[in-house]
Structures are given as structure tokens and as C-alpha cells.
Structure 1
Amino acid sequence: MAGNNAPGLIIAAPASHSGKTTLTLSLLAALRRRGRIVQPYKCGPDYIDPAFHTLAAGRASFNLDSWAQGRDRFEALLDAGYDADICIAEGVMGLFDGVATPGAWGNGSTADIAAATGWPVVLVLDVSGQAQSAAAVALGFARYREDVAIAGVILNKVASARHAALVRDGFSRSGVAVFGAIGRDDGLTLPERHLGLVQAQEDSSLAGKLTALADLVERDLDLAALEAAARPTRRQPRTATPRLLPPGQRVALARDAAFSFIYPHLVAGWRAAGAEIVPFSPLADEPPDPSCDVAWLPGGYPELHAGRLAAASRFADGIRAFAQNHPVHGECGGYMTLGAGLIDAGGTRHAMLGLLGLETDFAQRRLHLGYRTATLLAAIPGHAPGSVLRGHEFHYARVVAQPDQPLAEICDATGAGTAETGGRRGRVTGSFFHMVDAAEARS
């Protein structure tokens, strides 16, 4: 595959909840409608936003991460845009926000991705409650880091034409380009739940919203100026070709509304290594194909479907039989489903598979969030004991009991150990850790 030097832009903001996702989807849909081949990306660890990108752009969106991904992995993922007219990457949190301790080659900020790729930043400014002061915010961001270029701004949540004029007045003396102004429209707001947006596959109105969002930016933004602001992708030679050892030759992968959190680059890497992915739906009471060599249950929302999962006897009987002779691994939601029981938000306990002893509780939930490094104490499919993996943890489950042997030593971004160790029993393994990339192996 040829390398990607396609021009790109990064859609970022001073803070979360400024409108990055909505504006990114709007641009993807509008540019696609104009006949552009658009390669979407998401900065940082996130499963939900890239699924929306994929529907809007018509091609898979990949995560770019300076903390969890090795530089060779990062460069390989940039190749996904080899045939694109333009790359559009959505930022994470505020533009310069990251962890205090660097990881693979950066601190996980959107700014790291902008500096590495050379893609200019389009800053989405929530100007509600602000006028000329918005220009001062943009100037501060433009001058904060010399290796990050600000192409201009999109004014979001503008209250009226008069308000937009006052905000633009400040920018008239700043030298920072304004690509347009977007008013507040609650009808185009994407619904949310505790881990972020309601999943793209669950929003039946999404196609209509994407059309409306494309109409909005066609009307209110200077799309020609935005496209002209994009710059070619800066590339760095790879020291090696990154490979992902698949968990098996034939991988039974749980895929439905309860199990959808797996990074596209992992599945693509497994396929590139020759693995066959055989999906099955626990919510549809489907067992893993017994001809597969491994079953993998990714994260998702088992807490929202606990009753259906508990009643899925064909799925339960099939995976229990499968686990007698084949490895089974669960990440986060998959780990909870492999456990003994799950207490939902209403306080009702649902019996899970019982392949591990884990008991989790959402009635008294607690946020667990952040980058993690996992050093395996035992093998998981595709990775030997001693392997060091980089990833993250993001869930609200409270652990009531975890009686199994620990699976890994897990540390946060500072290197401090966490209480989460995962669990293992026989051929079954699981943890709350979401893998992004393999770091190294310890002897």
C-alpha cells in the first residue's frame, strides 16, 4: 500500500462538549456529498465517535494515539488515507489536554497528532456567553505551541446574527481566520448516555441528521476555504512493520449492541495476519461457532442488556461448551459477561456466564477512566505471559468480588499500580483493560 500524504485537518476545541463531534460529522457528510474521498480519524481512545465517522464518511475511521500506540503503528494507520482527497481527524478533550507522564511517544493530546502529521487545527469555539473575547482565546491557542498550526476557527452556538457580528469583530484584528458561524439547533443534538453518545447503530434517525448536518455546514461554513487550509500529511520512516498476532486462525467475535467496543485497527490487523473473523450475536442468543479456535467478547453495554443476556441460554450453553477446549477472552463488558453476576442500575442482579467469578454492580457505580499499561501474568489469546500492552480503562462498574487468579499487573499513566488485575480461570481470561497496542515483552 502506498504511503499517505493526503492533505488533512484536525477538528479540535479548547474543551470537551464544544461541538467537535457534531462539526466533524457535518464536514465528513458534506465533503462526501461533494464527491470527496474523506479518510476519518479520531484522536485518543474512543470507540463511539469513530462509528459515527464511518457512517458519515463511508469508510472506516481509525484512532491515532501518541500515548498508547507505538510510532510505527501510528504511521501504519496513516496509510489508511492513501487514496483519500482529504483526511479529517476529530480531537479529544481540549487541544493540548493529555496526561502528565508521556507514553509511547507523547502525552495523548490532540496537539501531538497535529504536530506529528502537520495537519492544521480548525478550532471549534463555543461562543455562548462570549463575544470579542473569543478572539483572545483563539490567539492564546495559536501561540501556545510552535509546532501546532491553527488554520482558523468555527464559531459554534452563536445566539443571533448580532452576536456573530460581535464575535467576528474581535477576530477582525486577530489575524485568525473565521470559517463560519453555527447557531444552536437542539434538533441536531446527538443523544448521549453514560459512556458517551448513544451508539450509531442504535440511532435510527442518524441518516436524516447527517443530511441535515451537511446542509447546515454547506450553508454556514466556507467549505472551499476549509479544504484549502488542509496540508499534506507529514510522514516519518518506520523502523519496522508493526504486526498484530491474531488471537487465533478463526476468531469468534461477539458483535452486537452489547458488544461493539473493539478498535478497527485491531480487527484489520488480525485479518492482515491471515485470521478469519466469525461474528456472533449474544443478544440474538447465538453461540460462538464451535469450529473457531478462540472466542473474543469485546466491551460494550452488557449492563443495558443484562436481562436478555441472562436469558440467552443457547449463547450461554454454547460458550460454556466452547470454553472447555478453546480460549475465551473478554474486555470490559465482555469480562463482566464472563463473570458470575451483574447488578444493573435498578439494583437487580442478573446471572452471567459464570466462567469467571467476577461480580459487578451498576447500582452504585463509579467512574474508572484513564490510560493503562498491562503486564500479563498469564497468556491471553495472541499475547504471551510477560507481554506489555498499552491501552485504557473506561467504565462505571463497581467490582463486588473478583476471586480468580489475577491476569495482569495494571498501572495507570503515571506508572502507579491499580486495583484492577483482571482474572483467569482455566482457558478463560478477562479484564477491564482495553488493548490499543502491544508495547514490548519482558523476559
Structure 2
Amino acid sequence: MNAPGLMIAAPASGTGKTTVMLGLLRALCEDGLAVQPFKSGPDYIDPAFHRAACGRASFNLDSWAMTPGLIDTIVAQATGADLAIAEGSMGLYDGVASRGGAGHGASADLARRMGWPVVLVIDVSGQAQSAAATALGFARFDPGLPIAGVILNRVASPRHERLVRRGMEMAGIPVLGALPRRGDLSLPERHLGLVQAVEHPDLDRAIADYAAFLRDHADLTAIRQAAAGVVVGGGGALPPPPAQRIALARDEAFSFIYPHLLEGWRRAGAELQAFSPLADEAPAADADLVWLPGGYPELHAGRIAAASRFLAGLRRHAANRPVHGECGGYMVLGEALVDKDGGRHAMAGLLGLVTSYAQRRMHLGYRHAALLAPVGALAAGTALRGHEFHYSTILDQPDAPLAHVTDADGAAVAETGSRRGCVTGSFFHMIAPAA
């Protein structure tokens, strides 16, 4: 039986969804509820904040990259929870445009499938009654998707709140909260989004402040009562592990790996052996596969270049056993990394890749990849779906391509990844095998 759920969404990015999500998770946990968080879309960072807020691992749900069966299996992680709450990405209806005009990967897709009513967070700064037109448009755009109500964010004054509420009343849109403007409640950001949860200097206190803020200015009882959902099957399997014993880099430079993958690997009996390159730790000598996730190696390039034990252990492993890197991990497997100031740092040299963060260019989007060589137990020919998001530029990529890669529209992508001997790497983060 699924827990009833809600989707916390918004008309656009930057409206305050994460503040509301974290405050709501903590406040409901303080009230004694077991709350299961989810994140709509391929965001790498938000799930760690969710876990910090409520103590339960948060899982990504993605209607473009995942089959319906996999989504149902991941949602089944809510077994034993009183309530499921998902945080949307971008705007509620934003996804990959198809020729039929429907969105794929949109938060609305998941809310519709799961029967989760939407709580719409609206930034009302600079408008009053007109905010109701926005809310009404979202409510009517898809009559099959219930809008439970709105939380008004960045309210300027009591008079401003009265005017906005009057418009919502005229439109028949319930107001579930009105949050005054508070500049001190924002989380620090960098080029890929929020600064990672592990780097926040006092995250627990910040989340406690969000919870108190929600208690003072939102109707938590009405929000809880709005939750609903449909029963879905959850008997499917999570993606299988790429090896039995996996040495997994885990620290501030290597942290972007999807929680459902780790859960699936553990459930299948894989042994995950964490190590920290930034602490100059070598991967376990008995590992079958070394996996370097994405993260922020460009911020720690000097430390990585000086991590002699890590680099020597990585090279020993690569002599006869597989090593794979995703995005930031891929960059570290290369010959060199150029930081934002133009400084060149020698990396592992297991691939010929040279990347530059000084020549910034955003690469963002879903990826479909057909492997041309194995990645651990993932055989050549395996089709994968994933996501790419980075600002690095390739200066040199002399090795054979790892995969044939296309974007969500089927257009070829130049960043094919690389392979040399037992070493493979790609800029895309694997989410799931393609259907």
C-alpha cells in the first residue's frame, strides 16, 4: 500500500520550492510522521538535503529516463511511511517536448501517475491579484491534475497578502500558506545548483529555521489533509550492479550518483567500498570495479593532483580491472584538468582527456547512450538513459568513444565518452537501462 503523497511544484525555477520542501519535511517529522521524500527529475544535489531534513533517503523519479515499472518500484520505498512528498523540478509542466506536444520528465507526469495533488509555490513579489491568474492557468492547463492549493512566497506586507488572497479567493484557489520575504533563508549556490548538503556549515540549524518558518506561516494540517495517491505495483527490480565489489569514491569532489542505483546495487548483494580521493585514500585492493562519480573535481584539482596514494592505487587497478568515471570522475581519469584560473593540473592519465573549466560552456540535457564497450558487467550494446550537466570544455579527447550518445530529441551528442583498455568514462550520469 502506498503512502498518500503530495507534489511540491512551482511555475518556474527559483520560486522557493526547496525552502518549502525542507521546512515541510522537518516540521512533519517533528510532529511524529514518517515522511518519504522524492525528487522529480535528474537533480543530483537536492536528495541529500531531503535526507538531512527527515532522516530518510530521498530517491529521484524521472518519467523520461525511467520506465513506469521502475518508477513504481522506487515509489515502493515509501512503504512504512505516513506520507510521501516529492519536490518538483523547474516549472510543473516543464519537460522534454515531444512531437505530440506532451511533456516527458515533467513533474506533472509523476503527480498524474501517482495521484499526488500539487501544492504550487508561487513567488508573488511584484504582483498582487494577478498571481491568481497564474495559479488558475496552472489549475486549468491539465484538468486531470489536481491542484491542492498554493503557498504564496516572498509576501511583502500584510496588505500585500490580503490583496493576493483576495485574487485567489476569486479564482477558487485554496491558499495553504503565505511566507513573508526572508532573504536570510536562502541556501548558498554554485554553478550546478545548491552547494552540497555535506558542505553546508550549519545545515541542521538552517532546516530547523525553515520548519519554524513553515509552522508560523502555513497550514500544516490542511497540507497533510490534501495528500492522496493511487496504489501501484512495486515488485520490479532496481538497476543491477556493474560488479560484485565496487570501490566507490565518496567525498566533496565525488558525490553525484543516484540513490536508487546504490540501493539497487546493495539489494543485489554488491559490496560498496567507499573511499575518499581528497583524503588520499586508494581504492580497495580487492575491488572488482572502481567507480568515480561526478561532483566538483574542478574545485579540488590541486588536491587531487597531489593525492599520490589515490592516483597510484587507481593506476594499479586499471592495469587489469575496470575503472569507470562519470562527469567529474571522467575528468579525473584524463590527462589533465584546467581550473577556472587557467591552472593545469595533472590527473590520473588513464585516458587522454583534457578538460578546461576556464573555458566555461554549459552542457545540459537528457542522454540516451548505446555502449560500444563494456562498463563492468554492463555489456557492449547496453542502452542506457542518463543526464549530463557540466560547464567544462573538452580540449583533447584522443581515445575511442565509449558510446553512441544522443539527446532527448535523438540528435547526436559530441560528448561520446572515452575508453582505453580497462578504463571508461562519460560526461553523462547513468540513471537506468533504456526500455
TM-score by length of 1: 0.96
- Please name the residue that 2:269 is paired with: 274
Determine helix, strand or coil for the equivalent of 1:116.
helix
Query: Are the aligned partners of 2:2 and 2:232 in contact in 1 as well (CA < 8 Å)?
Result: no
- Work out whether 1:207 is the aligned partner of 2:204: yes
Determine helix, strand or coil for the equivalent of 2:167.
helix
Q: Distance in 2 between matches of 1:19 and 1:399?
A: 34
- Please name the residue that 1:169 is paired with: 166
- Work out whether 1:15 is the aligned partner of 2:17: no
- Please name the residue that 1:120 is paired with: 117
Determine helix, strand or coil for the equivalent of 2:96.
coil
List per-residue Cα deviations over 1:228-253 (Å, max 9, x = no partner).
0001x323447x72342212111100
Q: Distance in 2 between matches of 1:101 and 1:275?
A: 37
Q: Distance in 1 between matches of 2:41 and 2:341?
A: 32
- Work out whether 1:101 is the aligned partner of 2:106: no
Change beyond 3 A, Cα 1:418–1:130: same
- Please name the residue that 2:134 is paired with: 137
- Pairing of 1:61-76 with structure 2 (within 5 A): 61-76=58-73
Q: Distance in 1 between matches of 2:270 and 2:295?
A: 23
- Please name the residue that 1:289 is paired with: 284
Q: What residue identity is the alignment partner of 1:51?
A: A
Change beyond 3 A, Cα 1:14–1:243: closer
List per-residue Cα deviations over 1:398-436 (Å, max 9, x = no partner).
000100000000000000101011000000000001110
1:376 to 371, 392, 395: 371
Q: What residue identity is the alignment partner of 2:359?
A: Q
Determine helix, strand or coil for the equivalent of 1:300.
coil
- Please name the residue that 2:186 is paired with: 189
In the TM superposition, residue 21 of structure 1 has moved relative to its aligned partner by 0.7
1:309 to 301, 304, 313: 304
- Work out whether 1:242 is the aligned partner of 2:223: no
- Please name the residue that 1:227 is paired with: 224
In the TM superposition, residue 91 of structure 1 has moved relative to its aligned partner by 0.3
Residue identity over aligned pairs, in percent, reads 60
In the TM superposition, residue 102 of structure 1 has moved relative to its aligned partner by 8.2
Query: Are the aligned partners of 1:372 and 1:393 in contact in 2 as well (CA < 8 Å)?
Result: yes
User: How much is the aligned-residue C-alpha RMSD, in angstroms?
Assistant: 1.3
Most deviating of 169-178 and 369-378: 169-178
Determine helix, strand or coil for the equivalent of 2:179.
strand
Query: Are the aligned partners of 1:66 and 1:106 in contact in 2 as well (CA < 8 Å)?
Result: no
Determine helix, strand or coil for the equivalent of 1:235.
coil
In the TM superposition, residue 106 of structure 1 has moved relative to its aligned partner by 6.0
Q: Distance in 2 between matches of 1:207 and 1:343?
A: 35
Q: Distance in 2 between matches of 1:124 and 1:253?
A: 37
Change beyond 3 A, Cα 1:243–1:403: same
Q: Distance in 2 between matches of 1:338 and 1:99?
A: 31
- Please name the residue that 2:48 is paired with: 51
In the TM superposition, residue 185 of structure 1 has moved relative to its aligned partner by 1.2
List per-residue Cα deviations over 1:242-289 (Å, max 9, x = no partner).
342212111100000000000010011011111010000000000000
List per-residue Cα deviations over 1:104-135 (Å, max 9, x = no partner).
x9610000011000000000000000100111
- Please name the residue that 1:324 is paired with: 319
Which runs of structure 1 show a deviation greater than 2 angstroms over 4 or more consecutive aligned residues? 235-238, 240-245
- Pairing of 1:144-163 with structure 2 (within 5 A): 144-163=141-160
Change beyond 3 A, Cα 1:102–1:253: farther
Q: Which structure 2 segments of 5+ residues have no match?
A: none
Aligned residues: 434
